[in-house]
Amino acid sequence: MLVVSVCSLKGGVGKTSVVLGLASAALSKGVPTLVVDLDPQADATTGLDVAVHQELHIGDVLTSPRRRVVEESIAQSGWSEDRPGLLDVMRGSSEVAHLDGRASERSLFRLTEALEFVEGYRLVLVDCPPSLGALTRSGLVAAHRVVVVTEPALFSVTAADRALRAVHEIRQTVAPEVQPLGVLINRYRERSPEHRYRLTELSEMFGPLVLSPPIPERSALQQAQGASRPVHSWPGSAAQELSRIFESHLGRLLRSSTRTRRKVTAPTR
């Protein structure tokens, strides 16, 4: 089981849209996938056609990472009604926001501990909040690979650099197995001189860590996700283009590691 955390240290760059696009590609390819919604906005849960009710959710999991809690926090995505077990969601909730403050080192391992009870999936996509609080750090600690989402804009480029530095810090301190897969540029407009300039800047800063191709800005993606539908089911050539690009990035994710993570023991202090 490959755990991939998708993060950004700047809001509004389309991080959750990338998670949903990858989930759509996984569903189309028959890859059993679990989406873990760590973001207090819980947009991934809503986008995957799962209602946010009073059932157990990610906040309960991080408070008490036991098998029963983990199992009851997972719901089937409405995208896969006819294919149970192919695409599921660990429900998000706004209630998880209170866990995003200061945290002990031990608490950063609770998601890792919870995922030890998860079975039957080939891929886990963790949608992290757009900040470097305890929730995002928990997502990074639990991951094998990290995808940093950015836009071709000045402040987003700076945030991508900070995100990669945070991954390096986590790797050097508490989670040596985590590695950055790369920086994924979202909402790219080829005809924009500013976007072309920022793409060059990102390539000069991060070299091969810049993932290709960038995800173009297309209204089809927002339309599909606004309707809580996978982009692969959305009509039109733009949706088909996006589907091919997300499949390409999904393939890169799955090729990045086929190893099963060893059990991690949290610090006792």
Q: Where are the domains of the chain?
A: 2-254
Asked if residue 268 has pLDDT above 50, the reply is no
* Structure confidence at residue 54 (pLDDT): 66
Tokens of 75: 């719901």
Q: What is the mean pLDDT of residues 224-235?
A: 93
Q: What is the mean pLDDT of residues 28-52?
A: 93
Burial of 51 (0-12, 13-18, 19+ CB in 10 A): exposed
Q: What is the mean pLDDT of residues 221-242?
A: 94
Alpha-carbon gap, residue 102 to 108, rounded angstroms: 10
| The Cα angle at residue 269 between residues 66 and 60, in degrees rounded to 5 | 25
* Structure confidence at residue 28 (pLDDT): 95
What is 2-254's CATH topology? Rossmann fold (3.40.50)
* Structure confidence at residue 269 (pLDDT): 39
Which position has the higher pLDDT, 205 or 25? 25
Alpha-carbon gap, residue 155 to 143, rounded angstroms: 25
Whole-structure pTM value = 0.92
